[in-house]
Amino acid sequence: MDDTATPAARPGKRPGTARRRLLAAAARRFYADGVSATGIDTITAEAGVAKMSLYNNFSSKADLVLAYLDERHEEWLGLYRQRLAEARDPRGGVLAVFDAYADHAAFAYERGFRGCGLLNAAAELPAGHEGRDLVRRHKEEVEALLAGHLGELLPDRPEEARALAEQLSFLLEGAMARAGLEGAATRVVRARAMAADLLDRL
């Protein structure tokens, strides 16, 4: 996602300038090169801060990774809220979720679009890692947002609304995976069109 967004502070941390620069550098490097391949020295050099500044803001690289994942989640929510503000009805709310993902895919990335930064990071983390739980909760929240809009659209068919939310979340994740492989937002835009067609048939 966009690496210039203002980071949300983790509990107990104040969002100072060094912290913002470290998070922005980590976002660029983790997305472009991967979490495992990116060392602390690389991040501090890119951020233009001393290594001690990193440890004054984060207890470890693992803590920085969690902050990065928090940041990506909040950034996506910001994109979604911008799109939702333009929606006129629950149908538009559903499509706002797809539009937010398309906006994410359309950013200018150093080495091109590589798919969902959260899932890319989660794929590098071991089972049971707190970061994987954070990514899972993000994906569950996205599905819950879809379910909420669909619940408004189908107030008398709650089971159908929940099932459709799951289907659309699968469509969205599949589109993001293909878009990441192809390096462009085209598949997400196509997925949005499919979702719109499905909603028009309800």
Reading the chain (202 residues) residue by residue, the pLDDT tens digits are 333 333 333 333 444 589 999 999 999 999 999 999 999 999 999 999 999 999 999 999 999 999 999 999 999 999 999 999 999 999 999 999 999 999 999 887 888 899 999 999 999 999 999 999 999 999 999 999 999 999 999 999 999 999 999 999 999 999 999 999 999 999 999 999 999 999 999 9
CA atoms within 13 A of residue 51's CA, in its CB half-sphere: 6
Cα–Cα distance, 17 to 22 (Å, whole number): 9
User: What is the reported pLDDT for 109?
Assistant: 86
Residues 6+ apart with CB under 8 A from 3: 24, 27, 28, 31
pTM listed for this prediction? 0.88
N residues, the chain: 202
Which structure tokens are listed for 50?
């001393």
Residues 169/107, Cβ–Cβ less than 8 Å: no
User: What is the reported pLDDT for 15?
Assistant: 46
Cα–Cα distance, 6 to 15 (Å, whole number): 9
Q: How far is CA 25 from the centre of its chain?
A: 17
Cα–Cα distance, 68 to 7 (Å, whole number): 9
